[in-house]
Amino acid sequence: MTEPETQQRQHPQPLADRSPDEVEAFLHEQQRAYESLQARGLKLDLTRGKPSSAQLDLSEALLSLPTDHRDSAGVDTRNYGGLEGIRELREMFAELLWIEPEQIVAGGNSSLVMMREVLVDLMLKGGVDSERPWGQEEKVTFVCPVPGYDRHFTLLEWFGIDTVTVPMKDDGPDVDAVAELVASDPSIKGMWLVPTYANPSGSVCSQEVAERLASMTTAAPDFKIFWDNAYAFHHLTEDEAKSADILSLASAAGHPHRPIMFASTSKITYAGAGVAFLGGSAETVQWYIGHLGKGAIGPDKLNQLRHSQFFGSPQGVRDHMAKHRAIIAPKFAEVERILSERLGGLGVATWTRPTGGYFVSLDVLDGTASRVIELAREAGVALTPAGSAFPLNNDPRNRNIRLAPTFPPLEDVTGAMEAVATCVLLAAAEKIATHA
């Protein structure tokens, strides 16, 4: 290969800078590539951030636990009671999440259910620091960093809660935009935030941003931060991000009841049979348990005990997550390799390079995300619907696509991403050729 050819391959000309004839030739090339793709009869899925079977196999020892049925306090975990969860598991995850055992509840298998319960309690009864139930307010609004987690937005829509969006940046939500919104609008009662390896961007909320969120002036005295730390331990590299200590920051700022933290073992052990956690001020914990007790007598403490015995210690959790990293990090590396080789330098897409979490956020040319997803579907590759990372499924620029590479085997990730790249190129060429 000659030196000019090497330079051309390393530094392709952006598609938008090419002549109409060159764009037309590129379009025909991508149409042929897409026809070949369709002929392969693929059936691949990158829609949900699920652990793979190999990851679930890491927790197989859970099925032979617990070895006894009494917890460290001698309580028979087969019986009723203990709404707050067993002490040893709460102590373990309190250390991992930077809080005190009295500030955490170990519950059932779903942190999302806990989030819904908290919203129900706030709407019907109000919070620790509320003047009245949220349901009696004329309007309730949440700040939503975007792109974000679709199930958060679905919950708000179900409750009839309004939304206002702010951009998600590398160090967390645009805190200037958040602070301006909450300072002047008393209907803004809360905000969502996935602070560590955010879904889908992979952003990590810095200590500085967290401090401003904890201390900012809010028109609503009972403003809440729903701190969904779903990926706190889900590192893809040895350079492990540390979650901001939001509870201490809020307490120091005089707003101890502002953050309500959520986490779970759903992507640590078994996605359908793990343990969920809720954290907050001691008063918030008692508020939650008080309402929970009206419809529950105790969680599955046997499952909590088996998790405690399985991990053994906080370090046991960290060691277990290193095994997850060995399985999924190569899949993320493959996503990066294919996107860089196929799309790099063409000016048709940008994407995140996460160091943790479960997703890659891909931004294609404005107005083409739905077309890319349509092309992928017709070629046998399922992607999350366009707009999913925005409230009401409304991506105003129609450009964001969430990629979830954890569940398929590595070879399927390769096939799916090659297909996605072809669809991105075809959709981009169609748009540029139309406007040439």
Residue 232 sits in which domain range?
77-312
Whole-angstrom CA distances from 329 to 1, 238, 322, 335, 356 are: 33, 11, 10, 10, 9
247, 370: one domain: no
Query: Where residue 435 falls among pLDDT bands split at 50, 70, 90?
Result: confident
Phi, psi of 191 (to 5 degrees): -150, 150
The answer, yes or no, to whether residue 436 has pLDDT greater than 90, is no
Mark which of 261, 296, 312 sits at the end of a domain.
Answer: 312
Whole-angstrom CA distances from 378 to 34, 46, 51, 352, 374 are: 10, 14, 26, 26, 6
- List, in order, residues 6 or more apart from 427 with CB less than 8 Å away: 364, 365, 368, 371, 372, 375
Residue 182: inside a domain = yes
Q: Which two tokens stand for residue 271?
A: 């996605």
Mark which of 250, 280, 312 sits at the end of a domain.
Answer: 312
30, 113: one domain: no
Q: Which two tokens stand for residue 221?
A: 């005295």
Residue 303: inside a domain = yes
**Contact between residue 379 and residue 419 where contact means Cβ atoms under 8 Å apart:** yes
Q: 82-99 as b/e, with b when 16 or more CB fall inside 10 Å?
A: bbbbbbbbbbbbbebbbb
**Contact between residue 230 and residue 151 where contact means Cβ atoms under 8 Å apart:** no
Tens of pLDDT, residues 31-78:
999 999 999 999 999 998 999 999 999 999 999 999 999 999 999 999
The answer, yes or no, to whether residue 10 has pLDDT greater than 70, is no
What's the number of domains the chain is made of?
2
**Contact between residue 308 and residue 86 where contact means Cβ atoms under 8 Å apart:** yes
- Quote the crossing angle between the two packed helices 87-96 and 314-343, to the nearest 10°: 40
81, 210: one domain: yes
225, 147: one domain: yes
The answer, yes or no, to whether residue 11 has pLDDT greater than 80, is no
Tens of pLDDT, residues 240-297:
999 999 999 999 999 999 999 999 999 999 999 999 999 999 999 999 999 999 999 9
Residue 60: inside a domain = no
Q: What is the CATH number of the domain that holds 424?
A: 3.90.1150.10
96, 191: one domain: yes
187, 256: one domain: yes
236, 290: one domain: yes
* Residue 380: Cβ within 10 Å count: 17
**How is 304-366 classified by DSSP, letter by letter?**
HHHHHHHH-SHHHHHHHHHHHHHHHHHHHHHHHHHHHHHHTTSSSEEE---SBSS-EEEEEST
Q: Which two tokens stand for residue 193?
A: 């935030």
227, 125: one domain: yes
**In the Cβ-directed half-sphere of 167, how many Cα atoms lie within 13 Å?**
6
Distance, CA of 109 to chain centre: 17
The answer, yes or no, to whether residue 127 has pLDDT greater than 50, is yes
Please report the pLDDT score of residue 9 as a whole number. Answer: 47
Mark which of 289, 312, 335 sits at the end of a domain.
Answer: 312
273, 327: one domain: no
The answer, yes or no, to whether residue 398 has pLDDT greater than 60, is yes
Residue 71: inside a domain = no
387, 351: one domain: yes
The structure's pTM equals 0.95
Q: Is the dihedral of CA 15, 17, 18, 19 positive or negative?
A: positive
Residue 390: inside a domain = yes
Residue 70: inside a domain = no
Rounded to 5°, angle at Cα 319 from 169 and 230: 35
Please report the pLDDT score of residue 350 as a whole number. Answer: 98
Phi, psi of 240 (to 5 degrees): -85, 125
**How is 199-253 classified by DSSP, letter by letter?**
TTT-----HHHHHHHHH---SSTT-EEEEE-TTTT-BSSSSPPPPP-HHHHHHHT
Residue 269: inside a domain = yes
Mean pLDDT confidence for 115-135: 98
Please tell me the distance from the alpha carbon of residue 182 to that of residue 70, in angstroms, as a whole number. 47
Mean pLDDT confidence for 201-221: 98
- Quote the crossing angle between the two packed helices 111-125 and 150-159, to the nearest 10°: 30
Pairing of β 141-146 and β 162-169: parallel
Please report the pLDDT score of residue 57 as a whole number. Answer: 98
212, 263: one domain: yes
Residue 63: inside a domain = no
**How is 356-395 classified by DSSP, letter by letter?**
BSS-EEEEESTT-HHHHHHHHHHTTEE-PPTTTTSGGG--
**How is 165-207 classified by DSSP, letter by letter?**
EEEEETTEE-HHHHHHHHHH-TTEEEEEE--SS-TTT-----H
Q: What is the CATH number of the domain that holds 161?
A: 3.40.640.10
Average pLDDT, the chain: 96
117, 251: one domain: yes
